[in-house]
Amino acid sequence: MADITRQTSESRTSQSLGEAAMMPVRLAMGVIDAPLRWVQKTFGLGGMAAFFLLPNMLIFGIFVLLPFFINFAYSMTGGSALFLSDRTFVGADQYTRLFDCSNYLAPNTCAEDTFWTAVGNTGWFVILQVTLMIAVSLITALILNRNLMARSFWRAVFFFPVLLSPVVVGLIWKWILQRQGLLNFGLYGFGFDPHVWLNDRNWAFAATVGVSIWAHMGFYTLIILAGLQAIPKDLYEAAEMDGTRAMRVFSRITLPLLMPNLLVVIVLVLIRAVQIFDEVYVLTGGGPGTSTLFVTQYIYETGFAAQLRNPGLAAAASILMGLVLVVLTLMQLGLSRSRDKKGARK
């Protein structure tokens, strides 16, 4: 009897605590209820959706769209003044200067040769880095998805570089790859001739690709790993019972079911690759010569670091780069939609 009384009293206490906790929520609901009803009445259900989207759209407008239009306005002006009001309108001159080229594949024939060198370097970087990043992340995720010993430890090991600042990543690898760096020290110890990796055009470029993969693959591996773990186990069991070969299991079950995750990874890697700057700037500074100069560094140098800055030219280059990113994103969206449609038809 005493137990029942105690239980009832406890239940009453927790009930009143819950009610007390709900009080502010109820109060808030009471306050916003009337205006929301008014919005719904005045603008209808569609208006309600717009109402809830408004804060997000405002933030997007102020921090994304507005800077884009300001940037575009800068790209139509010349001189080194910072304020738009102090700058001279030059129309499409900055774009004409960027595109003033006899042969786009031979940057030496272009007025802005460093821009086209940077475009070429970025193109190669994107092709190599995206392909290798996807392959390495996928293989790593497949391995980490197996029943390994100390699996959590290995997952942490691959994710750890993601936590590092890009400047730290650049410095670590600079200390490894420079003339008197760790790698040459090791090579010398094993009787090999040291090599100045960062002074060699090809090795320096390979280093930028390798370092960026090392620094970011953990993040993409995690996304793929999540996709792998979402694939129902019974599909694999059925395939095993049918005696399906491992490669066929991979191509017919794993890959198709992983595709939504892979698409996300591809688009993220692609965008990040086009924007590459920080770790490369610390690692090679764009050198040797201009062999690791990428578009973002060109924009930075032109707009901010050069002795006589040209914000208009930098803005024009960044608009072009933005357009490339928009095209890449639309391609990804298109691919994603066509896959969804195919899936629905099946």
Partner 1 sequence: MATTRTKTMLAAFAVGLLTSTAALAGDVRIMWYSDGVEGEVLKDLIGRFMKDNPDIKVTIDNVSYSVVREQLPVQLEAGDGPDIARVTALKALSKHWLDLRPLVADAAYWDTNFGDQADWMRPDGTDQISGFMTQITLTGGFANKTLFEQAGVALPGKDATWDDWAKASKQVAESQQIPFPMALDRSGHRLTAPELAFGANYIGADGKPAPIDEASKAFISKFIGWIEDGTMSKDVWVSAAGSTYRAGADDFINGQVAFYYSGSWQVPNFSTKIGSNFDWVATGSPCGPANCTGMPGGAGLVAIKYTKNPKDVAKVMDYLASEPVVKEFSERTLFLPAHKGVIEKGLDFKTDDAQAKTALGIFVTASTSLADLARKLPGWAWSDTIYGALVTRVSQAAAGEMTLEEAYTRIDADIAAKVKDSAL
| Interacting residues with partner 1 (CB under 8 A) | 78-83, 87-88, 90, 108, 111, 113-114, 179-180, 196, 198-199, 201, 284-293, 297, 301, 304-310
CB closer to partner 1 out of 26 and 201? 201
Length of the chain: 346
DSSP 78-92: ESS-SSGGGSEE-TT
Q: Which secondary-structure segment (H or E) carries 77?
A: strand 77-78
| Least separation in angstroms between CB 69 and partner 1 | 19
What's the rounded Cα separation, in Å, for the pair 136 and 106?
A: 32
| Least separation in angstroms between CB 51 and partner 1 | 23
What's the rounded Cα separation, in Å, for the pair 230 and 259?
A: 12
CB closer to partner 1 out of 81 and 168? 81
What's the rounded Cα separation, in Å, for the pair 117 and 302?
A: 14
CB closer to partner 1 out of 158 and 205? 205
| Least separation in angstroms between CB 7 and partner 1 | 43
CB closer to partner 1 out of 177 and 217? 177
| Least separation in angstroms between CB 261 and partner 1 | 36
CB closer to partner 1 out of 112 and 155? 112
| Least separation in angstroms between CB 103 and partner 1 | 15
| Pure H helices in the chain | 2-60, 66-75, 93-99, 113-144, 151-159, 166-177, 182-189, 201-230, 233-241, 246-249, 255-274, 278-283, 295-300, 311-345
